[in-house]
Structure 1
Amino acid sequence: MTTEIALKDQSCETIEKGSKAMIIPRIESYLSQMPGWDVPLDYQTLTKTFSFKNYHQTVAFVNAITWVAHKEDHHPEICFGYNECKVILTTHSIKGISQNDFIMAAKIDALLD
Protein backbone atom coordinates (compact mmCIF):
# COMPACT_ATOMS: atom_id res chain seq x y z
CA MET A 1 0.00 0.00 0.00
CA THR A 2 1.40 3.40 -1.02
CA THR A 3 0.97 6.32 1.33
CA GLU A 4 1.16 9.78 -0.17
CA ILE A 5 2.85 12.42 1.98
CA ALA A 6 0.69 15.49 2.58
CA LEU A 7 1.97 18.61 0.82
CA LYS A 8 2.37 20.44 4.13
CA ASP A 9 4.75 17.70 5.29
CA GLN A 10 6.95 17.86 2.19
CA SER A 11 9.93 20.16 1.64
CA CYS A 12 10.61 22.45 -1.28
CA GLU A 13 13.34 21.25 -3.60
CA THR A 14 15.76 23.17 -5.78
CA ILE A 15 14.39 23.57 -9.28
CA GLU A 16 16.98 24.21 -11.93
CA LYS A 17 16.61 26.88 -14.58
CA GLY A 18 15.37 25.29 -17.76
CA SER A 19 13.00 22.97 -15.91
CA LYS A 20 9.43 23.13 -17.13
CA ALA A 21 6.55 24.61 -15.18
CA MET A 22 3.77 22.34 -14.00
CA ILE A 23 1.25 21.48 -16.71
CA ILE A 24 -2.28 22.85 -16.45
CA PRO A 25 -4.10 19.56 -15.69
CA ARG A 26 -1.71 18.89 -12.80
CA ILE A 27 -2.16 22.46 -11.52
CA GLU A 28 -5.94 22.00 -11.65
CA SER A 29 -5.65 18.70 -9.78
CA TYR A 30 -3.63 20.24 -6.95
CA LEU A 31 -5.81 23.36 -6.93
CA SER A 32 -8.92 21.26 -6.32
CA GLN A 33 -7.36 20.22 -3.00
CA MET A 34 -6.44 23.78 -1.96
CA PRO A 35 -9.54 25.73 -0.84
CA GLY A 36 -9.30 29.46 -1.43
CA TRP A 37 -6.21 29.35 -3.63
CA ASP A 38 -6.57 30.62 -7.17
CA VAL A 39 -4.58 30.57 -10.39
CA PRO A 40 -4.96 33.43 -12.88
CA LEU A 41 -5.60 32.63 -16.53
CA ASP A 42 -1.87 32.76 -17.34
CA TYR A 43 -1.20 29.84 -14.94
CA GLN A 44 2.01 31.45 -13.68
CA THR A 45 1.07 32.24 -10.08
CA LEU A 46 -0.86 30.75 -7.20
CA THR A 47 -2.68 33.31 -5.03
CA LYS A 48 -4.83 33.55 -1.93
CA THR A 49 -6.10 36.42 0.17
CA PHE A 50 -6.43 35.90 3.92
CA SER A 51 -8.60 38.07 6.19
CA PHE A 52 -7.96 38.86 9.85
CA LYS A 53 -9.62 40.79 12.67
CA ASN A 54 -6.89 43.39 13.03
CA TYR A 55 -3.43 44.58 12.06
CA HIS A 56 -1.68 42.64 14.82
CA GLN A 57 -3.08 39.31 13.59
CA THR A 58 -2.24 40.18 10.00
CA VAL A 59 1.37 41.06 10.76
CA ALA A 60 1.78 37.97 12.95
CA PHE A 61 0.62 35.86 10.01
CA VAL A 62 3.01 37.63 7.63
CA ASN A 63 5.88 37.01 10.05
CA ALA A 64 4.95 33.33 10.29
CA ILE A 65 4.95 33.07 6.48
CA THR A 66 8.41 34.64 6.31
CA TRP A 67 9.73 32.06 8.77
CA VAL A 68 8.35 29.20 6.65
CA ALA A 69 9.63 30.82 3.45
CA HIS A 70 13.11 31.16 4.90
CA LYS A 71 13.10 27.54 6.11
CA GLU A 72 11.91 26.26 2.71
CA ASP A 73 14.00 28.73 0.67
CA HIS A 74 10.90 29.52 -1.39
CA HIS A 75 9.77 33.11 -1.01
CA PRO A 76 6.28 34.35 -1.89
CA GLU A 77 5.26 37.86 -2.68
CA ILE A 78 3.24 39.15 0.27
CA CYS A 79 1.00 42.22 0.18
CA PHE A 80 -0.81 43.20 3.36
CA GLY A 81 -2.82 45.92 5.00
CA TYR A 82 -4.79 46.38 8.20
CA ASN A 83 -6.76 43.13 8.11
CA GLU A 84 -5.85 41.42 4.86
CA CYS A 85 -2.87 39.56 3.44
CA LYS A 86 -2.48 38.46 -0.17
CA VAL A 87 0.08 35.75 -0.89
CA ILE A 88 1.38 35.20 -4.41
CA LEU A 89 3.47 32.11 -5.12
CA THR A 90 5.49 31.35 -8.23
CA THR A 91 8.74 29.61 -9.05
CA HIS A 92 10.91 32.33 -10.54
CA SER A 93 13.52 30.00 -12.03
CA ILE A 94 10.90 28.44 -14.33
CA LYS A 95 8.61 31.46 -14.66
CA GLY A 96 5.61 29.43 -13.59
CA ILE A 97 4.10 27.14 -11.00
CA SER A 98 5.94 24.16 -9.55
CA GLN A 99 5.15 21.66 -6.82
CA ASN A 100 7.12 23.94 -4.46
CA ASP A 101 4.35 26.53 -4.79
CA PHE A 102 1.72 24.02 -3.69
CA ILE A 103 3.95 22.83 -0.84
CA MET A 104 4.30 26.42 0.36
CA ALA A 105 0.56 27.03 -0.05
CA ALA A 106 -0.18 23.99 2.12
CA LYS A 107 2.34 25.09 4.74
CA ILE A 108 0.85 28.59 4.77
CA ASP A 109 -2.66 27.19 5.19
CA ALA A 110 -1.40 24.99 8.03
CA LEU A 111 -0.33 28.11 9.93
CA LEU A 112 -4.03 28.77 10.53
CA ASP A 113 -4.97 25.23 11.56
Structure 2
Amino acid sequence: MRDRNIRVKERIKKYLKHHINMGESYRKLDNDEINIELSKLSNWELDNDRIRKTFEFKDFGDAFAFMTRMAIEVERINHHPEWFNVYNKIKVELTTHDVGGLSMYDFKLAKIMDDFEKVFL
Protein backbone atom coordinates (compact mmCIF):
# COMPACT_ATOMS: atom_id res chain seq x y z
CA MET A 1 0.00 0.00 0.00
CA ARG A 2 2.85 2.37 0.85
CA ASP A 3 4.46 1.86 -2.59
CA ARG A 4 1.18 2.62 -4.30
CA ASN A 5 0.78 5.85 -2.30
CA ILE A 6 4.30 6.91 -3.28
CA ARG A 7 3.55 6.24 -6.96
CA VAL A 8 0.29 8.20 -6.79
CA LYS A 9 2.03 11.13 -5.07
CA GLU A 10 4.76 11.14 -7.73
CA ARG A 11 2.18 11.18 -10.52
CA ILE A 12 0.31 14.05 -8.87
CA LYS A 13 3.56 15.94 -8.39
CA LYS A 14 4.48 15.44 -12.06
CA TYR A 15 1.01 16.53 -13.17
CA LEU A 16 1.06 19.69 -11.06
CA LYS A 17 4.61 20.58 -12.06
CA HIS A 18 3.69 20.22 -15.72
CA HIS A 19 0.52 22.29 -15.49
CA ILE A 20 2.05 25.02 -13.33
CA ASN A 21 5.01 25.37 -15.72
CA MET A 22 2.77 25.66 -18.76
CA GLY A 23 1.50 29.09 -17.81
CA GLU A 24 0.23 31.13 -20.76
CA SER A 25 0.82 28.25 -23.20
CA TYR A 26 -1.88 26.27 -21.49
CA ARG A 27 -5.00 28.09 -22.60
CA LYS A 28 -7.42 27.72 -25.46
CA LEU A 29 -6.26 29.66 -28.51
CA ASP A 30 -8.62 31.94 -30.39
CA ASN A 31 -9.25 31.60 -34.15
CA ASP A 32 -6.68 34.24 -35.14
CA GLU A 33 -3.98 32.55 -33.07
CA ILE A 34 -4.89 29.15 -34.50
CA ASN A 35 -4.64 30.42 -38.08
CA ILE A 36 -1.26 32.02 -37.42
CA GLU A 37 0.15 28.85 -35.85
CA LEU A 38 -1.40 26.60 -38.50
CA SER A 39 0.32 28.61 -41.25
CA LYS A 40 3.69 27.68 -39.72
CA LEU A 41 3.05 23.94 -40.12
CA SER A 42 3.31 21.58 -43.06
CA ASN A 43 0.05 20.01 -44.30
CA TRP A 44 -1.86 20.08 -41.02
CA GLU A 45 -5.63 20.58 -41.29
CA LEU A 46 -7.96 22.26 -38.84
CA ASP A 47 -10.99 20.16 -37.87
CA ASN A 48 -13.15 21.93 -35.28
CA ASP A 49 -11.20 21.79 -32.02
CA ARG A 50 -8.24 19.77 -33.32
CA ILE A 51 -5.55 19.68 -35.96
CA ARG A 52 -4.76 16.57 -37.95
CA LYS A 53 -2.22 15.23 -40.40
CA THR A 54 -1.46 11.92 -42.09
CA PHE A 55 2.23 11.09 -42.27
CA GLU A 56 3.30 8.64 -44.96
CA PHE A 57 6.60 6.77 -44.80
CA LYS A 58 8.53 4.40 -47.04
CA ASP A 59 7.52 1.35 -45.03
CA PHE A 60 6.31 0.11 -41.65
CA GLY A 61 9.82 0.24 -40.18
CA ASP A 62 10.10 3.97 -40.81
CA ALA A 63 6.58 4.58 -39.52
CA PHE A 64 7.35 2.62 -36.36
CA ALA A 65 10.67 4.45 -35.89
CA PHE A 66 8.84 7.77 -36.18
CA MET A 67 6.25 6.73 -33.58
CA THR A 68 8.93 5.43 -31.24
CA ARG A 69 10.90 8.67 -31.41
CA MET A 70 7.77 10.76 -31.02
CA ALA A 71 6.79 8.74 -27.95
CA ILE A 72 9.95 10.04 -26.27
CA GLU A 73 9.06 13.65 -27.15
CA VAL A 74 5.44 13.16 -26.10
CA GLU A 75 6.55 11.99 -22.67
CA ARG A 76 9.09 14.81 -22.42
CA ILE A 77 6.51 17.53 -22.98
CA ASN A 78 3.67 15.50 -21.42
CA HIS A 79 1.25 16.16 -24.26
CA HIS A 80 -0.21 13.07 -25.90
CA PRO A 81 -1.58 12.73 -29.44
CA GLU A 82 -4.34 10.54 -30.73
CA TRP A 83 -2.66 8.51 -33.44
CA PHE A 84 -3.45 5.53 -35.60
CA ASN A 85 -0.98 3.43 -37.57
CA VAL A 86 -1.66 1.23 -40.59
CA TYR A 87 1.47 -0.07 -42.31
CA ASN A 88 3.36 3.03 -43.53
CA LYS A 89 0.77 5.67 -42.56
CA ILE A 90 0.24 7.42 -39.25
CA LYS A 91 -2.83 9.58 -38.74
CA VAL A 92 -2.32 12.11 -35.96
CA GLU A 93 -4.88 14.30 -34.22
CA LEU A 94 -3.92 16.92 -31.66
CA THR A 95 -6.11 18.80 -29.21
CA THR A 96 -5.88 19.85 -25.58
CA HIS A 97 -8.79 18.24 -23.77
CA ASP A 98 -8.17 20.20 -20.56
CA VAL A 99 -8.82 23.54 -22.30
CA GLY A 100 -11.51 22.27 -24.65
CA GLY A 101 -9.68 23.08 -27.86
CA LEU A 102 -6.27 23.91 -29.27
CA SER A 103 -3.40 25.23 -27.16
CA MET A 104 0.20 26.10 -27.97
CA TYR A 105 1.11 22.58 -26.84
CA ASP A 106 -0.70 21.14 -29.86
CA PHE A 107 1.27 23.36 -32.21
CA LYS A 108 4.53 22.70 -30.37
CA LEU A 109 4.06 18.95 -30.78
CA ALA A 110 2.96 19.34 -34.42
CA LYS A 111 6.16 21.31 -35.14
CA ILE A 112 8.30 18.62 -33.48
CA MET A 113 6.57 15.99 -35.63
CA ASP A 114 7.05 18.03 -38.80
CA ASP A 115 10.74 18.52 -38.03
CA PHE A 116 11.34 14.85 -37.32
CA GLU A 117 9.41 13.76 -40.42
CA LYS A 118 12.17 15.40 -42.49
CA VAL A 119 14.61 12.73 -41.27
CA PHE A 120 12.70 10.23 -43.42
CA LEU A 121 12.45 12.32 -46.61
- Which 5+ residue runs of structure 1 have no aligned equivalent? 1-12
Structure-2 change in CA distance of 1:20 and 1:99 (3 Å): closer
Q: Aligned partner of 1:21: which letter?
A: K
- Which 5+ residue runs of structure 2 have no aligned equivalent? 1-17
Query: Cα RMSD (Å) of the superposition?
Result: 1.7
Shift of 1:112: 2.3
SS of the equivalent of 2:36 reads helix
Please say if 1:70 is aligned against 2:69.
no
Q: Aligned partner of 2:92: which letter?
A: V
Q: Which residue of 2 aligns with 1:31?
A: 38
Q: Which residue of 1 aligns with 2:100?
A: 95
Whole-Å separation in 1 of the counterparts to 2:67 and 2:112: 13
Whole-Å separation in 1 of the counterparts to 2:81 and 2:94: 5
Shift of 1:95: 1.5
Answer yes or no: is the 8 Å Cα contact 1:51–1:85 preserved in 2.
yes
The share of aligned pairs that are identical, in percent, is 30
Bigger share in helix: 2
Please list every run of at least 4 consecutive aligned residues from structure 1 whose deviation after the TM superposition is greater than 6 angstroms. none
Between structure 1 and structure 2, the one with the greater Rg is 2
* 1:42-79, Cα deviation, whole Å (9 max, x unpaired): 2x111111001111111111111111100100000111
Higher relative contact order (CA 8 A, sep 6+): 1
Q: TM-score, normalization: structure 2?
A: 0.74
Shift of 1:20: 4.7
